[in-house]
Structure 1
Amino acid sequence: MGRPIPAPSSTRISAPSQSQVPTCTQVSITKCVEESLSRSYGESMKEPLQRLRHHSFLVTDPHLPGHPIVYVSEGFLHMTGYLAEEVMGRNPRFLQGPDTDRRSVLQIRDAICEEKPCHVILLNYTKQGWPFRIVFHMAPVFSQANGQLLHFVGAQKPLADCFSKQVWHCEASLLGLHKGPSAFLGPKICMDSINPRLKSHQPSDSCLNYQCSGQRKKKMKTASTILQLVVHELVTSNKLMSDKTVCGGCSSEEADTALCSSLTLALTRIQQSFVISDAKLPGMPVAYASDMFLRLTGYQRHEVIGRSCKFMQGQGTDTCAVEQIRDAIREDRTCTVRILNYRKNGSPFWNLLHVAPVRDHTAKVVYYVGVQWHLGFPLAEGSFASKDVTPAMLQLGAVGAVKVAVRSLQGHGLRRSSS
């Protein structure tokens, strides 16, 4: 562990040759990385983050290809030995190496999928290949306007066997800071005194067993405090920006973020006409509508999300069919009815509707899924039933896929164990 590991070729950055001239797509992605924070928090967002620059943290954008880093602190650069231009736009996995614990990596990935916080002990590598252990705390940041996932913040604190008095003083000041996250956090941390790449000796056993000491708890508390301060700054700035946007009457966020982005991504793979209603909210509003449902009904997504499914009913809708659906929902059971629904343009169509409850990992009903089948007309090429595949089979398959997506991404039911 004391010898540096050569950085992989993918982490070495050299001057681009003529064949490496950035394409339009690459330029567009680079621009998105540079504008990621300003889009969600305003142009002045980096000013409060600069007050925390002496501590090690980064911000990533899960909505950009590869989930890249969009902001990095000076403390992080000192700790890893990289320059800002070598880090921005890259996924943080480039810091991992041959001895990085796979279970810790999977725990981070699961937390990202579930949009939840996590903390682990992680072995990373500096630019020169020196391994070093860190306490890593990560948490998501959500929009104050509609709850949409915006970014992830990761705060790091190195586990080392020697620290300067100045470092301990800075940590004590940080842990005692409760009067406001915008306050200046004291003197710059002497990262050189704890940077493993500057140490030529083999780490002692006491360093490797640091996780079992009281100092490990203090490091975890310090990293957690740094994380809370950064998240607070982002949330506050987003709230101020959201208030201005709403007051201006030009909110650009869609309401289809009622479901977390990871769950929405999983649902887009289900090629059926269906909607998901939130059983936890009054009136059971629609939380998700598939593309095929929108094509069938003629509505736009923002015209469907947040409304009760009864907006598809009309003058010719049979009240007995509606009552059958209500009874099934009241009793938490499935039902299939033939009902007359109406498109946005007012044209009617016969709908073979299958409604089923969706339970979470605790067996509690959290959603209802309604799968539509347009009787007498195929929705899309390959969608009509055959002798071997009936509408009922396709509807049950869609319900099963929704249940798997909800249980795997909204609870601990299918989450990997780190033990």
Structure 2
Amino acid sequence: MGRPVPCSAAMSARAPSQEPCCSEANRLQESMSQSYGESVQESLQKLRHHSFVVTDPHLPGHPIVYTSEAFLRMTGYLAEEVLGRNPRFLQGPETDRRSVFHIRYAVLEERTCHMVLLNYTKQGWPFRVVFHMAPVFSQTSGELLHFVGAHKPVPDSLFPQFRLFERPPLGFLKGPSALSKPIITADNFNSLCQLSAAGFTHQCSGQQKKMMKITSAVLGLVIHELVVSNKMMNDEALQDRRSNGKAESGLCFSLSLAFSRIQQSFVICNSKLPGMPIAYASDMFLQLTGYERNEVIGCSCRFLQGQGTDPCAVNQIRDAIRDESMCTVRILNYRKDGSPFWNLLHVSPVRDHTGKVVYYVGVQIYTALPPEDESCQAQRKIIPSISHLGAVGAVKVAVRSNGFRQTS
């Protein structure tokens, strides 16, 4: 249960010199403060001499939400001309299209990437950088928070082999439209990316590798600051809950008491908080997983996943949460001692009197191993059992009787 999948909406058409409006500026600032706290700006200022940007894949257009002073000096732009824009505004007519697609798919797959990239300054001058990009994940919920991109400008003399990238590569149209109409198919996309990466790693040596290590180190420093800030913010929030006497369940006493009467393995997750942390865990859930209550409250359900967990089942749960619908999957989970078990999991939204989803209930039933040919297609055919629906119904009745009116 995490944040939405990164969007790939186009960059805003706002002119470079136009400053972001107040609402947009607030949204950009909140993107950082909600994930890392108000002090994150001060933490990143210590790294202002390094060129890097932080982008938010959850906002339309995947815009820049933080930029270092060195990045602004390198590109010639002002901060208000950069914030709120997708980094693709640095691209130009000779930017390698394969590198662009490589970055795009790295974002979609939430993974790191590195390459030599041709960018353009505000004045239109081309320059090459060693570019490293990596995702930042929450240390408590495991959700994707941001991407960090680090840059190190280099002279063309260090990377003469990349001049051939200025010509339209294999898989693109010839003629005037070569750089704007890529012909990318399932057959040639992987080969293009592999060719680019192979040429990069094979031909880099000496000073080139040193440049790569510098950007990698900068990336590590920035991510370290963000991860530490995120953890400190979450620790402070947990401490606040404990000081308010809500550490045990995160719910009011009457609602917790009502839930305790439901004899089923289930958890209640708060959809209004980042990462959808567990607000209540039943005794049978604790017996099934081997955890103590204070070890699961405030954590995302992702801690039950492991090496053998099927990504297809995880994506099905994520899609259901995004669509505010229910789903049932058979998923491989792991107990506290590391032993795996098959979980027939049913996830369902719980709404307030306005129809907004305020909780998600996840009901677990221990099940035998599925057939060896269990597939993503078969996952979609699983229907909830009477036990699943009974537990969900009991949860909704308990919520309704404690001040909420359920809507279907």
Normalising to structure 2: TM-score of the pair?
0.56
C-alpha distance in structure 2 between counterparts of 1:111 and 1:234, whole Å = 20
Give the match's secondary structure for 2:123: coil
By how many angstroms is 1:132 displaced? 1.2
1:84 aligns with 2:141: no
Could you tell me which residue of structure 2 aligns to residue 148 of structure 1?
143
C-alpha distance in structure 1 between counterparts of 2:24 and 2:344, whole Å = 33
Could you tell me which residue of structure 2 aligns to residue 357 of structure 1?
none
C-alpha distance in structure 2 between counterparts of 1:270 and 1:97, whole Å = 37
Aligned positions of 1:214-233 closer than 5 A: 214-233=206-225
By how many angstroms is 1:213 displaced? 4.3
By how many angstroms is 1:243 displaced? 0.7
Q: Deviations over 1:51-104 (max 9, x none)?
A: 111110000111211111110001100111100000001111111112211221
Could you tell me which residue of structure 1 aligns to residue 67 of structure 2?
72
Would the alpha carbon gap of residues 71 and 65 (structure 1) be closer, same or farther in structure 2, given more than 3 Å must change?
same
Please tell me the residue identity of whatever aligns with 2:50: H
Of 364, 369, 379, which aligns to 1:308? 364
By how many angstroms is 1:346 displaced? 4.2
Give the match's secondary structure for 1:100: coil
C-alpha distance in structure 1 between counterparts of 2:316 and 2:386, whole Å = 30
Of 235, 243, 250, which aligns to 2:235? 243
Aligned positions of 1:17-416 closer than 5 A: 27-160=22-155, 208=163, 212-249=204-241, 252-253=273-274, 254-255=276-277, 258=302, 273-282=326-335, 283-284=341-342, 289=347, 302-305=359-362, 307-309=363-365, 326-327=367-368, 329=370, 333=374, 339-341=385-387, 342=390, 344-346=392-394
By how many angstroms is 1:281 displaced? 2.3
Would the alpha carbon gap of residues 303 and 161 (structure 1) be closer, same or farther in structure 2, given more than 3 Å must change?
closer
Q: Is the 8 A contact 1:95 1:125 kept in 2?
A: yes
By how many angstroms is 1:277 displaced? 4.8
Q: Is the 8 A contact 1:148 1:257 kept in 2?
A: no
By how many angstroms is 1:340 displaced? 3.0
Highest Rg: 1 or 2? 1
By how many angstroms is 1:339 displaced? 4.6
By how many angstroms is 1:231 displaced? 0.4
Please tell me the residue identity of whatever aligns with 2:361: V
* Aligned pairs, number: 276
By how many angstroms is 1:343 displaced? 5.3
Q: Is the 8 A contact 2:53 2:66 kept in 1?
A: yes
Would the alpha carbon gap of residues 31 and 257 (structure 1) be closer, same or farther in structure 2, given more than 3 Å must change?
farther
C-alpha distance in structure 2 between counterparts of 1:36 and 1:220, whole Å = 29
By how many angstroms is 1:32 displaced? 1.1
Would the alpha carbon gap of residues 299 and 288 (structure 1) be closer, same or farther in structure 2, given more than 3 Å must change?
farther
Q: Deviations over 1:293-314 (max 9, x none)?
A: 999xx99674424x5147xxxx
Q: Is the 8 A contact 1:284 1:308 kept in 2?
A: no
C-alpha distance in structure 2 between counterparts of 1:257 and 1:92, whole Å = 33
Would the alpha carbon gap of residues 62 and 245 (structure 1) be closer, same or farther in structure 2, given more than 3 Å must change?
same
C-alpha distance in structure 2 between counterparts of 1:137 and 1:27, whole Å = 31
Give the match's secondary structure for 2:149: strand
Please tell me the residue identity of whatever aligns with 1:227: L
Gaps spanning 5+ residues in structure 2: where? 1-10, 165-199, 251-272, 278-299, 306-310, 336-340, 396-407
Q: Is the 8 A contact 1:100 1:122 kept in 2?
A: yes
By how many angstroms is 1:159 displaced? 1.7
Could you tell me which residue of structure 2 aligns to residue 200 of structure 1?
none
Could you tell me which residue of structure 2 aligns to residue 167 of structure 1?
none
Could you tell me which residue of structure 2 aligns to residue 13 of structure 1?
16
Q: Is the 8 A contact 2:72 2:78 kept in 1?
A: yes
Give the match's secondary structure for 1:144: coil
Please tell me the residue identity of whatever aligns with 2:82: V
Give the match's secondary structure for 1:240: helix
Identity of aligned residues (%): 48
Q: Is the 8 A contact 1:59 1:71 kept in 2?
A: yes
Give the match's secondary structure for 1:227: helix
Would the alpha carbon gap of residues 277 and 90 (structure 1) be closer, same or farther in structure 2, given more than 3 Å must change?
farther
Q: Is the 8 A contact 2:64 2:87 kept in 1?
A: yes
Would the alpha carbon gap of residues 244 and 280 (structure 1) be closer, same or farther in structure 2, given more than 3 Å must change?
same
Q: Deviations over 1:305-362 (max 9, x none)?
A: 4x5147xxxxxxxxxxxxxxx3453766469789534253349xxxxxxxxxxxxxxx
Normalising to structure 1: TM-score of the pair?
0.55
Please tell me the residue identity of whatever aligns with 1:75: A
Would the alpha carbon gap of residues 300 and 231 (structure 1) be closer, same or farther in structure 2, given more than 3 Å must change?
same
Would the alpha carbon gap of residues 272 and 73 (structure 1) be closer, same or farther in structure 2, given more than 3 Å must change?
closer
Give the match's secondary structure for 1:104: helix
Would the alpha carbon gap of residues 239 and 132 (structure 1) be closer, same or farther in structure 2, given more than 3 Å must change?
same
Gaps spanning 5+ residues in structure 1: where? 1-7, 17-21, 164-203, 311-325, 348-379, 381-419
C-alpha distance in structure 2 between counterparts of 1:206 and 1:65, whole Å = 36
Give the match's secondary structure for 1:140: strand
Would the alpha carbon gap of residues 285 and 100 (structure 1) be closer, same or farther in structure 2, given more than 3 Å must change?
farther
